């Protein structure tokens, strides 16, 4: 079920599919062909200590994602940096899909998948065993209390 490519420092590497969600909407409306949706597949680090989705600038550019603002971010060295934020990133992980905002990192080659994405897709990550999987293989379970 889970395709784990490797582990390092409590993170799990997975393949993720990304698309421009605005393109997907335009294709559904018939404004563009489905083949015109900008898509890519890259490796992503699942990091239970990270909060958000972080994408390399090269991937953001390839997908044509629009900058929607700026945010302050704290890398592992605990410094504070300002980064662009893009919206409408369609992400698929282990067959589960969601649309997210992402922080743009100019010096990354891979994605960083944080807790917000894992929670929204109802995924469980275990850095000790190096696995990531849906909590329930058939349904996303939403906690209401």
pLDDT digits (tens, 9 = 90+) for 78-111: 889 899 999 999 999 999 999 999 999 999 999 9
The pTM is what?
0.88
Q: Which residues neighbour 71 within 8 Å (Cβ) at sequence distance 6 or greater?
A: 82, 83, 85, 103
Q: Which CATH class is domain 6-129?
A: mainly beta
Residue 29, pLDDT score: 98
Mean pLDDT for 48-66 is 95
Tokens of 17: 């599919």
Residue 38, pLDDT score: 98
Domains in the chain: boundaries: 6-129
Residues 29, 47: Cα–Cα separation, whole Å: 36
The enclosing H or E element of 25 equals helix 21-28
DSSP-derived 3-state class of residue 120:
helix
Residue 2, pLDDT score: 37
């Amino acid at each position: 079920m889970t395709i784990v490519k490797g582990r390092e420092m409590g993170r799990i590497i997975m393949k993720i599919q990304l698309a421009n969600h605005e393109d997907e909407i335009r294709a559904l409306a018939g404004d563009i062909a489905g083949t015109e949706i900008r898509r890519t597949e890259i490796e992503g680090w699942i990091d239970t200590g990270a909060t958000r989705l972080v994408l390399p600038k090269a991937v953001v550019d390839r997908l044509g994602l629009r900058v929607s603002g700026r945010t302050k971010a704290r890398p592992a060295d605990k410094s504070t940096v300002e980064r662009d934020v893009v919206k409408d990133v369609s992400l698929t992980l282990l067959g589960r899909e969601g649309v997210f905002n992402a922080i743009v990192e100019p010096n990354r080659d891979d994605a960083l998948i944080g807790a917000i994405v894992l929670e929204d897709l109802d995924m469980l990550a275990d850095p000790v065993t190096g696995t990531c999987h849906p909590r329930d293989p058939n349904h996303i379970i939403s906690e209401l209390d």
